A and B are shown apart, each in its own frame.
Chain A
Amino acid sequence: MKKEIISANGLTKVYHRGSEKIFALKDASFEIAEGEYVAIVGPSGSGKTTLLNLLGCLDTPTRGSLRLNGAETSGLQEKDLVKLRRENIGFVFQQFFLLPTLTVRENIALPLLFSKKNDCKDKVDEILEQVGLEARAEHLPSQLSGGEMQRVAIGRALVNEPKIILADEPTGNLDSATARKIYELFQYLNDRGLTMIVVTHNVELAKTAHKVIHLRDGEIAQEASSHSLSRKTRR
């Protein structure tokens, strides 16, 4: 049986708008095993990104607890959360967030600067090869296509050798052909043992996942295998 890498128990996030309470996420409980590929789906405003941010320790829950790779995250100081993020999580964003004056190689190597592992040229070369950008290593983001930029962002997420990749709408800004190449890359990374958690509207991408978490109005409406999602989609 595979080791559990994420365990969420009653995760709740409440935002305040004036005196009004908005439940972005209500009592979400689930577990994710190491090496699992999970898609989080649901309509806009259903709490997908909120959940992803809580899982990535970018935000703290109002209630509930989260265990990440065996460590309880609630009550941790910011510096401990930073360490936890560095060691366990790689982020991929819809908007890529590449620094325009850094080359592909430098953008990929950026997390190494923050984790004080500067002398890792071989590691960056290996990542460039994995994401298929060896020939573009010295190019600037402005010289790349959307798909290439997302590959750089994926490379950047991989460079610290995380255990989990969290991706927020990674194909949202890409055409379908390019998006398909990104799914293939995700699949390849998952095959190599990485835990993938992807927030998406894209049914094709969700189909490649082992497990799909459906959110509606901040609550988990359904937690199912992607096989059942395929059947539902066909219906």
Chain B
Amino acid sequence: MNFVTLAIKNLLRRRGRTILTILGVAIAIAVLFSLLSFNSGYEKQLSGELNSMGIHMLAVPKGCPYEAASLIIHGGVIPKYMSNSDAEEIKKVDGVEIASPMLLHQFYKDGRPHIVYGVVMADMLRLKPYWKVEGRLFSDTEDSVIVIGRNLAEEEMAKEEKLSVGDVLPFGPYKIPFTVVGILERTGTQEDEFHFLPLPVAQRIFEKPDQITAVGIRVGNVSRISEVASRLEQIPDVQVVTMTQVMGTIMNLVGSARTLIISVIIVAIIISAVGIINTLLMSVNERTREFGMMKAIGASGLDIGKLVLIETLFITVMGGVIGLLLSTLGSSLIEGFVKGIIPYSPGGKLMTPEPGLVGLCLLFSIIIGFVCGIYPAIKSSRLTPMEAIRSNLE
């Protein structure tokens, strides 16, 4: 027998109370781990999504540029437009390597928003050379053709059976038949949800002749981004937002939601810690005579304190492990909930358990154990054998 065995056997004497305390710690650690995983996954996915756009900056109509840029990346629509000629002007600016004009349109199907991108495919392929497609992409001169994202093909457009290459789809406000010529292979970004049309076709069917929503820009030399941006801003009606600024804007947008979640976690952890301290103090008080007996048969104050501390650490580490399991098992549920309350979320899986975070949460549960166990441990170790044995006897 050793101190750990003795501590576990002691905890088993109050099974119900021990299980509830472990559960309290588990919930706090699960919430903490979920938030940290989400936070880390969110920044990684967002950064990946912005990088996957293959552009260094976006030219958008003058107004509220950062929010406009964020909405465009997310697949939202802004009620302002530039013209084809603005795109031509942008292409001519020194330092611009690629300028890809795009028109965004949104429509609703089954109560869910669908995003349509009108694009110049030759430019898109230069920006996204990694794109792979089942079927083929379209050329800019084609009409009544459409390429769709993988998720859309599998889930949204056909609830019963998935959409295939070659299928004809009534599309647009006038339900014109479009042939699905290609389905993008999954990218893990918002593109998996989008429809892509040739730009002139999109302008025609959505009745936005000569209008574009944004121009995606890649510069030849990244060290010249700000210089190129200032040149572009000299074009009337055009504002430029770099991807770094977009990332900052989005992180600000989600900041308030994160603050709320962090507050909830702090409250959960405090409640859990108070619960543990309360449980331990009750247990110490109930076992006063037992500790007195232990001292009489040779235990030192340090031995008693060590025993109480091991019991606390067992509770918190068990709670930590169970919390991590709960969080991992329920990650999709938690992810869905958090995605619903934050203003922008990138595509793909946001919660990915990382070994570093697992270690951090386990370390945190050990720290909670020490913090909560130290007072009861000191209290029990300082009991004199006499007062302990005599308690409740007289």
Residues of A near any B CB (own CB < 8 A):
53, 56, 58-59, 78-79, 82, 85-86, 90-91, 93, 95, 97, 99-102, 106, 109-111, 113-115, 118, 156-157, 160
For chain B, what secondary structure do more than half of its interface residues adopt (helix, strand, loop), or is it mixed?
helix
> Could you name 6 residue pairs across A and B whose Cβ atoms are closer than 8 Å?
A58-B384, A58-B386, A59-B385, A82-B300, A111-B298, A114-B298
User: Could you tell me if A53 and B9 are in contact, using CB atoms closer than 8 angstroms?
Assistant: no
Interface string of B266-302 (1 = CB under 8 A from A): 0000000000000000000000011001111111110
User: Could you tell me if B384 and A106 are in contact, using CB atoms closer than 8 angstroms?
Assistant: no
A110 to B9, CA, bound (A): 13
A157 to B386, CA, bound (A): 17
User: Could you tell me if A91 and B301 are in contact, using CB atoms closer than 8 angstroms?
Assistant: no
Total number of A-B contacts with CB less than 8 angstroms? Answer: 71
A100 to B15, CA, bound (A): 13
CB distance from B217 to the nearest CB of A (A): 71
A160 to B295, CA, bound (A): 14
Q: Quick one: given A99-B9, A101-B12, A102-B9, are A82 and B298 in contact (CB under 8 Å)?
A: yes
User: Could you tell me if B298 and A115 are in contact, using CB atoms closer than 8 angstroms?
Assistant: yes
Contact with A91, one of B3, B10, B297, B384 (Cβ below 8 angstroms): B297
A118 to B293, CA, bound (A): 19
Check if B13 is an interface residue, CB within 8 A of chain A. Answer: yes
In the assembled complex, which residues on chain A have CB atoms less than 8 Å from the CB atom of B299?
A: 82, 114
User: Could you tell me if A78 and B301 are in contact, using CB atoms closer than 8 angstroms?
Assistant: yes
A111 to B13, CA, bound (A): 20
Interface size on B, residues (CB 8 A): 25
In the assembled complex, which residues on chain A have CB atoms less than 8 Å from the CB atom of B289?
A: 95, 97
User: Could you tell me if A109 and B1 are in contact, using CB atoms closer than 8 angstroms?
Assistant: yes
Q: Which 4 pairs of residues, A with B, have the shortest CB-CB distance?
A: A97-B293, A86-B298, A101-B9, A58-B385
Check if B141 is an interface residue, CB within 8 A of chain A. Answer: no
A143 to B3, CA, bound (A): 24
In the assembled complex, which residues on chain B have CB atoms less than 8 Å from the CB atom of A102?
A: 1, 6, 9
Q: Identify 10 new A-B residue pairs, CB closer than 8 A, beyond the known A78-B301, A156-B297.
A: A58-B385, A58-B386, A78-B300, A82-B299, A82-B300, A100-B13, A102-B1, A102-B6, A113-B2, A115-B298
A79 to B384, CA, bound (A): 12
A140 to B385, CA, bound (A): 25
CB distance from B245 to the nearest CB of A (A): 63
Which B residues from 338 to 394 make CB contacts under 8 A with A?
Answer: 384-386, 389, 393
CB distance from A95 to the nearest CB of B (A): 8
Check if B303 is an interface residue, CB within 8 A of chain A. Answer: yes
Contact with A160, one of B293, B298, B393 (Cβ below 8 angstroms): B298
A106 to B298, CA, bound (A): 15
CB distance from A137 to the nearest CB of B (A): 13
User: Could you tell me if A97 and B290 are in contact, using CB atoms closer than 8 angstroms?
Assistant: yes
User: Could you tell me if B290 and A79 are in contact, using CB atoms closer than 8 angstroms?
Assistant: no
CB distance from B335 to the nearest CB of A (A): 42
User: Could you tell me if B389 and A58 are in contact, using CB atoms closer than 8 angstroms?
Assistant: yes
A99 to B299, CA, bound (A): 14
